Amino acid sequence: MKENQISTGRFIDGKEIFAVELTNSLGSKVKIYNYGAIVSEFIVTNAKGEKQDIILGFDDIDGYLNEDYLADYPYLGVIVGRYSNRIKDGKYSIDGVGYQMDKSLHGGITGFDKKVWNILPTVDPSLTLQYISPDGEESFPGNLTVQLTFKLSDANELILDYSAVTDAATAINLTHHTYFNLNKDGGNVAGHQLRIPAGNYLEQDADYVVTGRLTPVAGTSHDFLAGKAIGHDWDPGEGYDQSFVLDKPYGELGLASETTEPTSGLKLDVYTTEPVAHFYTAKYLNTAIGKGGKGYGPFEAFCIETQHYPNSVNVPDFPTTILRPGDTYKQTTIFKVSHSVK
């Protein structure tokens, strides 16, 4: 694996934005910005021998800073924090102290996705980003130091290792919001084949907020245990925006999803130490100009957002998402690309 750091010439609050490219012996390349820890490219060789970018995004950093894009913001390729997904009414308490944050999705109005992260020195070819979130930012308590390391292995694994420490008890639930499409020409992802090893999904209310109830997937459109086309059972006007509880030991690295696309012959396996995979088929995606001037519309991508149970801060029966001083938050997620067996 090799790395290459390139200045974009753009600054936010006096901090320079860089693009860092990671490459491997297979000729694959990943481009990551230290703004929002954005994964902007993941170029691989498909089963036909063609180079193919499997991630939605923009040709350069200006696209991610464009006002029109930010006005209808889909979180393309960014880290999400301090708290991913939704917290009921933006309210929660820690040790009897109540907190009220903005009701915005994914950590508030200006979350980790809109910060310029520091690039730390590394010994091996990799990228480690660090952001120190101050006490009170987006109403979260404690000074939280977060590090995220990216590696691209020679087995075509994009490895994300997260860690965080705090000086006061705080809520944390990080994920990465990468939009994938394994078809070289893009388009609707209904024909992608997907398997999710999850016997239960999390019930949501009308605002997509997790209620605390687990629901068996058996006999529902959410049953991906045996694998099927994404569009096989979906409502084509709604798609999927659902959290699945993975059938694996808590905290252990295991399979979260397996996706194949017949035209390209590509396969994407996602592994994680997290207990939940949130599956989203981009219902609200509406980006006029993406890579190569091409726009992105609803259902033209899918996301596998590995995380803890959403809204855990308000559901005592769920595994805790409270990080305390002296403890370390850790998470690993791996996106592995290969060719599907024909």
Nearest to 196 by CA among 226, 160, 238: 226
- The encoded tokens of residue 68 equal 């029109």
Q: Which residue matches tokens 């705090």?
A: 166
CA separation for the pair 256, 48 (Å, rounded) = 26
177 in catalytic set? yes
- Proportion of the chain in helix, strand, coil states, percent, rounded to 5: 5, 45, 50
Residue in 3, 137, 300, 305 annotated catalytic = 305
Task: Report d(CA 223, CA 196) in Å as an integer.
Answer: 8
Q: Is 36 exposed, middle or buried (0-12, 13-18, 19+ CB in 10 A)?
A: buried
Query: How is residue 300 written in tokens?
Result: 């033209």
| Burial (CB count <10 Å: 0-12, 13-18, 19+), residue 197 | middle
291 phi, psi to nearest 5 deg: -65, 135
**CA-CA distance, 195 to 229, in Å (whole number)?**
9
Q: Which of 177, 192, 222, 278 is catalytic?
A: 177
Burial class (CB in 10 A: 0-12, 13-18, 19+), 263: middle
Residue 179's alpha-carbon distances to 78, 112, 324, in angstroms, are 9, 17, 32
Nearest alpha carbon to residue 142 among 118, 108, 165, 110: 165
Query: Which residues are identified as catalytic?
Result: 177, 305
